[in-house]
Amino acid sequence: MPTITSLSPTSGPASGFNGVVITGTDFTGVLAVRFGATVTTFTANSSTQITAIAPPGTGTVQVTVTTLAGTSNGVSYTYVSVPAVPTVASIIPSTGPVTGGTLVTLTGTGFTGATAVSFGATPATSYFVLSDNLLVALSPAGVGTVPVTVTTSAGTSAGIPFTYVPVPTLTSISPNSGPVTGGTTVTLTGTGFTGATAVRFGILPATSFTVNSDTQITAVTPVGLGTVPVTVTTAGGTSNGVPYTYVPLPILISLIPNSGSSAGGTTVTLTGVGLTGATGVSFGATPATSFTVVSDTQITAVAPAGLGTVQVKVTTAAGTSNGLPFTYVSVPAVPIVASITPNSGPAFGGTLVILTGTGFTGASAVSFGATPATIYFVLSDTLIIALAPAGTGTVQVTVTTAAGTSNGVSYTYV
C-alpha cells in the first residue's frame, strides 16, 4: 500500500493549478492522485516522490495516492482564498484645495487590509478602512488632476480622478459701500471663481449671487453694519477678504426755516446725521436749486419754487432719509395802480378820488407824493377810494401793502 508522509506546500490558492510535491513510499505504478474527490494530473518522479497539480477547490481536503496495491492514507491540503485586486468605483468629493485636507469617501471593493491610499504619487495624509467597500481618506497637498488608488496585498486598484482646485482670490468689489438694509448689487473681481459655493459679507451669506466667469461674480448684499470682509468660497477654499462698508441711512432732525416763498430761493439749513456724501436734496418731487454739504450733520439748500407743504429729504449712497415738512407761503405781489379819478383837485385837499389797479388788499397807506391820505377805504383788491390831502403841483399817488409800494400815477393840485 502507498504511504504519504508529507506535502509541500500544504496549502495553495483556491484557483488551483499550483504544483504540490508529495513524498512517501511505494509510489510504484501510481494510478491516481486525488485532492479530496477530485482527480488531478501528476508526474511520478520516483517511488518516493510525486509532483501533482492542485485542482481548484475550497477548504481543507485530503490528498491521496492510488496504486494497484490500493489507496494511501490522506494528508491535509488547505485551499486559501486569494484576495482580488481592489477596485475604486467613486470618490466624494472629487475636488479639493491645493493645500490638501479634504476628507474624501471612496467606495469600491477589496479595501480590507489596505496598505496605502495614494493621490497620484503622494500618499494620503491619513485613511481609515470602514469596510471592504468603504474607505475615508484625507487628501494631501497637490496640484492638477491626479488618480486616487488603493493598494492591498493583492495589488493596486485603477485610479479615479481627483482635481486640486486653487484657492480663489478677490481683488475688488464695486461698489464697495451700500445701505445697512442690504439689497445692493455688487460686482466681485478676482480669480478662481468657477464653482463658487458661497459669497459672504462678514459671516452673512449674500442674498444671492451669480458666477459670471472665473474672474467675476455679481452678488446682492444682505443686511449688515459697519465694514465687513467679503469672501468667495469654492472647492479650493475661501478667498482673502475685501472690505465692504455698510452706510447708515441719513436722518433729518430739523429744517430752519421750515417755510419760505412759493417763488423759491429760500436758504434752508438741514440738520441731521449721516449727511456726508449726499447726492440729492429734494423738496417734494423737486430737487433743491442747489445744496452744500457742510458736515455729516448739516446741509444748506436753496428751496425751489413750490406750493403747499412738501417733504424735504436727503439722498446718499445709503438711501433716502425720512422727510420733514416745508411749507410754501404765497407772497402777495407788489400793488399796481392803473388809474386815478379824478386826477386833479384843489390845493386845500378834500377831493374824493377813486384808484383802480391790483394787489390793494391789506393796503397800509395811500400817499399823495410824500403826504399820506387822511382817509382811505379798500373796497376790493382792485379798488380804493381816498380823500386827497392838501398839496401843490403834480404829485405821484401810490399804494403801499406788505408786499411793497406800487407805481405812482399823477395827481395835480389846482
- What is the per-residue pLDDT across 138-191, written as a single tens digit (0 to 9) for each? 999 999 999 999 999 889 999 999 999 999 999 999 999 888 889 999 999 999
Amino acid at position 188, single letter = L
Q: How confident is the model at residue 317 (pLDDT cuts 50, 70, 90)?
A: confident
Q: Which fold has domain 251-329?
A: Immunoglobulin-like (2.60.40)
Whether 282 shows a pLDDT value over 80: the answer reads yes
Q: Which fold has domain 87-165?
A: Immunoglobulin-like (2.60.40)
Residues 6 or more apart whose CB falls under 8 angstroms from that of 21 comprise: 7, 8, 49, 50, 51
**What pLDDT score does 330 carry?**
79
Q: How confident is the model at residue 318 (pLDDT cuts 50, 70, 90)?
A: confident
Mean pLDDT of 192-220: 95
Whether 397 shows a pLDDT value over 90: the answer reads yes
**What pLDDT score does 333 carry?**
82
Residue 227 near residue 245, CB atoms below 8 Å = yes
Residue 74 near residue 63, CB atoms below 8 Å = yes
Measure Cα distances from 336 to 1, 360, 394 in Å: 157, 8, 19
**What pLDDT score does 83 carry?**
78
pLDDT in tens, 66-84: 999 999 999 999 998 777 8
3-state helix, strand, coil in the chain (%, to 5): 0, 60, 40
Q: How far apart are CA 382 and CA 367, in angstroms?
A: 17
For the record, the C-alpha cell of 201 comes out as: 459679507
- Collapsing DSSP to helix, strand or coil, 190 comes out as strand
Q: How many CB atoms lie within 10 A of CB 17?
A: 12
Starting at the edge strand that comes first in sequence, how are the strands of the sheet with 42-46 ordered? 3-8, 19-25, 49-53, 42-46
Sign of the Cα pseudo-torsion (183, 186, 188, 194, in order):
positive
**What pLDDT score does 319 carry?**
85
Identical fold, 3-80 and 336-413: yes
Whether 45 shows a pLDDT value over 90: the answer reads yes
**Domain ranges, ordered by start, for the chain:** 3-80, 87-165, 169-247, 251-329, 336-413
**What pLDDT score does 261 carry?**
86
Q: What is the pTM of this model?
A: 0.52
Mean pLDDT of 347-365: 95
**What pLDDT score does 126 carry?**
95
pLDDT in tens, 231-243: 999 988 899 999 9
* Cell 479650493 belongs to residue: 236
Whether 116 shows a pLDDT value over 90: the answer reads yes
DSSP assignment of 79-133, as one string?
Answer: EEPPPPPPEEEEEES-EEETT---EEEEEEE--TT--EEEETTEEPSEEEEEETT
Q: Which fold has domain 336-413?
A: Immunoglobulin-like (2.60.40)
Please provide the CATH number assigned to the domain covering 169-247: 2.60.40.10
| The domain defined by 3-80 carries CATH number 2.60.120.260 | no
**Helix runs in 191-290, H state only:** none
Q: How confident is the model at residue 227 (pLDDT cuts 50, 70, 90)?
A: very high
**What pLDDT score does 262 carry?**
87
